[in-house]
Structure 1
Amino acid sequence: MESAKRPAGAKLVIAVVALAILTFLGILSETSLNIAYSTLMREFAVSASVVQWLTTGYLLLLSVAIPVSPFMVRRFATKALFVVAVAIFTLGTLIGAFAVNFPMLLAARLVMALGTGISLPLITNIILEKAPLERRGTMLGIVSLVTCAAPAIGPVFGGLVMEWLNWHWIFYTMLPFLVISLVLGMATVPEIRHAGGSKGAGA
């Protein structure tokens, strides 16, 4: 029973990294796109108060998605939720990459917020359920590192993209990392099912 609760350390770390990539991209997209606001205002002919909804709308939906996500964690297997989170975030990224007007770009941001909102509680749940007690601090430290580093890197990343390319590439460059996250997560994210969840719950 003890060994069942202590999966291979490397596999757990990779699972946490896979989810951390998704969380990192969600926060990175928020702070990097801020650099493009003046360009977006000119391109889409919108005011500063309107373009700010790319951040406000993202944060509002994120604040709704995060409290709802623990309910989904209790109802559905973690690997299924991980795949759904990556799929939703990827869909939002693609919509943003090919956005031709402001409503389309705003819709992309809202979809991305939903994917991020699922991944944030999921990564914490996996750590608390599967990590040995003596390793939880390290695992949670990875989460903290992601949430602290992404806002700092975002403006630099956004500035470089706007200097050499255009704002669409803020979304394009995320796609390879989403593929990496999906591949790593599919191989390592543990199945966790709680009492009252789906039928056929495993141990």
Structure 2
Amino acid sequence: MNARLAGLLLAACGLAHASDEAQRSELRRQRAAIEAEYAQRDQACRQQFVVTPCLERSRTDKQSALQSARTQELALDDAQRRQRAQAQSQRVTEKTEAAQVRGDKPPQPQLPKPPRVETPRPVKAASSKPEAPDRSAAEKRQREGFESRQREIKAHREAVEKRNAERAARKPAKALPAPGSAVAR
């Protein structure tokens, strides 16, 4: 029964494909006719005294005609996409049915492995002895890091203040002469 259904589906797709090709060739013919008519109207407009409004009307008429042809073409493309998707779905269904008839297990989709997330360790009681030296060492490292960052910040602040004081101590540059006081040579 599935073979007959698949045969009918393929025959329908073949007829639809032939129909689609006929419609596409008709759309190409319409598009060529629109372009030819536009060229004739363009030549006729150029013979008139007021060319621009005539050309604009001609151009808008051409665009609207081409837009309707484009809409029809998009509808054909959409229908063709749906037919391909339906055929693909049918092939997958037939393949899984054939595998079930043979007794095979259905293929498992290959999913990417989820990223490994480390779960946080449960917090142990503060009275645990083995962790105390590690904790004090970690606190010492953190304290040393904090103190070194504070020293760096202080050194940077002092350097900036020194640089600003040097700039302020310098004598300001002389002002430019006024534009009217320039001597003509």
**TM-score range, shorter-chain basis?**
0.3 to 0.5
Structure with greater proportional helix content = 1
Tell me which of the two structures has the higher relative contact order, counting C-alpha pairs closer than 8 angstroms and 6 or more residues apart.
1
- TM-score normalised according to structure 1 size: 0.31
Q: TM-score, normalised by structure 2?
A: 0.33
